[in-house]
Every structure is written in C-alpha cells, then in structure tokens.
Amino acid sequence: MILSKEHELMRKNFRNFAETEFTTEIQEQLDREGGFNWDIWKKIAKYGFAGTKIPVEYGGQGGDYLAYALMNEEFARVCPVLAIYANTPNSLGGGPLLQCGNKEQLEKYLTPAAKGEKHIVFALTEPGAGSDPGSMITRATADGDYYVLNGRKCFISGAPIADYAIVYARTNPELKGAKGISMFIVDMHLDGVSCGKPEPKMGINGYPTSDIVFENVRVHKSDLLGPLDKGYAVAMKTLDGGRLGVAAQSLGIAQGALEEAIAYAKERKQFGKPISYNQGVSFMLADMATEIEAARNLIYSAAQAKDMDAKDASTQCSMAKYYASEMANRVCAKAIQIHGGYGFIKDYKVERLYRDARVMTLYEGTSQVQQIVISRSLLK
C-alpha cells in the first residue's frame, strides 16, 4: 500500500522515537527484571502516543487505525514491550469507553488515559473463562446505588500498574453466554480490589501481568459502562481494533527479526564467504520478507477497512491477527536458525524476539478463535 505523506511522516516519527528512546539497555533490563519503566511511559505520554487513535476532544491525537497500526509496527520492530505500553490505552483501555461511555465517563476516564496520566486496563479473562468468556463467573449484584463485585480475573496485562480496569461481570445469572454480562469501570484503589503477584512469563517482560481479585467491591452505578446485561456484546464490536494492534505488533517483531537476520547473514563468514551467499540462507530471507510484506498489506488494508467502518472490517482484523502472528513465529524461528548457535544466546536480539513473538498467537483471541471468527463469516 502506498501511504499518504502524513502516514509516511508518522512512520518516520514512530521509528525515530523508538530507535532513540527504547535503548537496548532498557529493553534488556526489562526482559531481565520485569516491572515497568516509568521514564519511557512519561515520554510516551508527553508525545501523546497513549492517545494516538483517541479523538482530540478526549485528549487524544485524532489519528486513525492506520496511524495506530504504524505505531504498533514501528515500536514493536524495536521492542514489542514498548508497543504494548502505547497500545493498551489506545485499544483495550480506550476502546470500550469510546464505544459505550457517556460524556461524563469519557471525560473522567478516557481523557486521562489518552494523555497518559492514568492507566486503564482490560479485565475479561478468568481462570475458567478464556476463549469462552461467556462462561465467566465473576458476579455483580445490585445493591441500591451500587453493584457489589465478587470474582477473579487472570492474565490481566498491566493490572499491577493500573488505576482503573474495565471489568466484565455477570449481572443476570438467568441469561447464558454473552447475554447477562455487563461492563464496569472499577477504580483499582477501591476496598476489596487486590492484585496477584506478577506472572513470570516466557516473553514480553517489562509489562506486568497479574490476577485481579474482587471481594465485595462496591462500584457506583455511574460506573456501569454501556447497557445493563448487554455490555459484553456491545463492547466486543470494538475489540477487533485491539486485534489489529496485535497484528501490527507481530509485523514489527517479524520486521525486526528479518533485519537482524539480514545483517548477520551478510557479516557471518563460513567456508570462506558470508553465509548469505548460500541459497539455503538467502532463500530463507526471501521467504521471510515475502511473508512480512503479505502481512503488512493485509494489516494496512484491515486498518483502512476499520477507518471506513466497512462491513467486513472485523473479519479482516481477525485474518490480519491470525496470519501476522503465525507469520511472526515462523520468521523469528528462521531468524534464529540463520544466526546458528549464536541465535540461542541472549546477547543476540533474535532470541528475545522469538520469545516475545510467541504470545502473539495467544492473546486477544487465540489463532483458533480467529479461525472461528473467520470461518463463521464465510459460512453464515
């Protein structure tokens, strides 16, 4: 796809920011120690990257889905963790608010999130409810002006640093599946809210993930987000934007791995010549580059479909997420293979990209869930 002058400039800017600010030292420290880098967060906030896709009237930058995809791609090319930093407020944090929030809620919660002043995270998954969120058991019971929440969410990205969480809870146990579920904005500092310890993960270390536990948490009814009992179904419409973000992260990871592989293949000599002189290696690079370019066009096209609110945008986002995440895993594996034994050592960036890529086929809907979405749209 040929980008507009503005989008080309955005790419240049995202790349410059990522390459300059997300130093190798920071990346390696986050991978080693986990936690969260507040200095980088402040810079993301300063330049408005937390609100790239959020309208200007709510403190955002007014960018479109294509801008959002470019940001995820370019940040992830340098380090996927830092793409996740900027992605969360734009997608899973801000998305349900934009879709369902009233003016008061948008001003109170979305604006500070877009400006990077507050963290909003997305709490849907439960230990017994992953790909099948309809089986969730977190309950919200009406009590006067309040709802009382009880339950446990797991694998919640950003929970330990969050100020607010978008929480899904069953408000009507009579209804089954997606019906009878409502959305709430829960202040993480309310009595009865607690986090589990950060999960030790295979990759994307540096953006903490934990359980959130709700024990008789009293949430005011003004923090009910969207219609009662139908909040889940309404919000799901926005979440393919998040899938687009994960697709773009996958694309960035693959691009980063390809560049590492090319540089190494040109430099590393065996049998008296650079290993790139061998077709076994150079054809691998050709395959990687071709798959990356196919994913890139799929993603940009899905982003434009979202921007135009096209009917099949949702399916396109699922296709983009499915293909790009699987592709990134194939590309990273090949990048390691090209590096040989050195690729297995942590001193080489491809080792970290390989681990980081793995979650891309899992979170925000597994590849199998994407296949369900895609096939249902074909067979309806």
Active site amino acids: 364
Cα gap 319→331, rounded to integer Å: 18
The pair of three-digit structure tokens given for residue 124, joined into one six-digit string: 């849907």
57 lines the binding site for other proteins (CB under 8 A): no
Task: Report yes or no: 29 and 79 within 8 Å, Cβ to Cβ.
Answer: no
- 67 binds other proteins per the rule CB under 8 A: yes
Q: Which of 47, 146, 277, 342 binds other proteins (CB under 8 A)?
A: 47
Least CB distance from residue 17 to other proteins, whole Å? 5
Residues 222-251 interacting with other proteins (rule: CB under 8 A): none
**Joined tokens for residue 42:** 């402040």
Q: Which is nearer to other proteins, 65 or 323 (CB)?
A: 65
Say whether residue 6 binds other proteins (CB under 8 A).
yes
Q: Which stretch binds other proteins (CB under 8 A): 5-13, 26-34, 150-158, 285-293?
A: 5-13
* Minimum separation from the CB atom of position 40 to other proteins (A): 13
How wide is the angle at C-alpha 246 spanned by C-alphas 242 and 251, nearest 5°? 145
The pair of three-digit structure tokens given for residue 296, joined into one six-digit string: 């890139």
Closer by beta carbon to other proteins, 5 or else 311 = 5
Answer yes or no whether residue 146 interacts with other proteins by CB under 8 A: no
Distance separating alpha carbons of residues 207 and 198, to the nearest angstrom: 9
Sequence-distant (6+) residues with CB within 8 A of 38 are: none
Rule CB under 8 A: which of 11-30 touch other proteins?
13, 16-17
The angle formed by the CA atoms of residues 229, 232 and 238, to the nearest 5 degrees, is: 145
CB of 31 to other proteins, least distance (A): 25
Please identify, using beta-carbon distances, which residue of 6 and 143 lies nearer to other proteins.
Answer: 6
88 binds other proteins, rule: CB under 8 A:
no
Nearer to other proteins, 41 or 277 (CB): 41
| Residue 259 touches other proteins, criterion: CB under 8 A | no
Torsion angle, alpha carbons of 238, 243, 248, 249, to 10 = 120
55 lines the binding site for other proteins (CB under 8 A):
no
Q: Does 10 bind other proteins (CB under 8 A)?
A: yes
Is residue 62 part of the contact set for other proteins (CB under 8 A)? yes
Find residue 181's DSSP bridge partners.
Answer: 170, 230
- Which of 56, 142, 286, 308 contacts other proteins by CB under 8 A? 56
Residue among 61, 99, 182, 250 that touches other proteins (CB under 8 A): 61
Asked whether position 52 contacts other proteins by CB under 8 A, the answer is yes
Residue 74 sits at the vertex; the CA angle it makes with 325 and 122, to the nearest 5 degrees, is 60
- From the list 61-69, 181-189, 345-353, 372-380, the region that binds other proteins by CB under 8 A is 61-69
Cα 207 to its chain centre, rounded Å, is 11
Position 286 contacts other proteins (CB under 8 A): no
Give whichever of 6 and 259 is closer to other proteins, judged by the CB atom.
6
| Angle 39-41-254 from CA coordinates, rounded to 5° | 110
Single residue of 22, 27, 31, 48 touching other proteins by CB under 8 A: 48
Residue type, 225: L
> Min. distance of Cβ 64 from other proteins in angstroms?
9
Count the neighbouring beta carbons within 10 Å of the beta carbon of residue 55: 16
User: What are all long-range contacts of 219-223, with beta carbons under 8 Å and residues at least 24 apart?
Assistant: 219/140, 219/146, 219/147, 219/148, 219/149, 219/184, 219/185, 219/186, 219/190, 220/145, 220/146, 221/142, 221/145, 221/146, 221/147, 222/104, 222/105, 223/105, 223/184, 223/185, 223/186, 223/187
Question: Residue 173 CB, nearest distance to other proteins (Å)?
Answer: 44
Q: By CB under 8 A, which span of 1-9, 75-83, 129-137, 190-198 interacts with other proteins?
A: 1-9
CB of 108 to other proteins, least distance (A): 22
- Residue 276 identity (one-letter amino acid): S
Which residues contact other proteins (rule: CB under 8 A)?
Answer: 5-6, 9-10, 13, 16-17, 47-49, 52, 56, 61-63, 67, 71
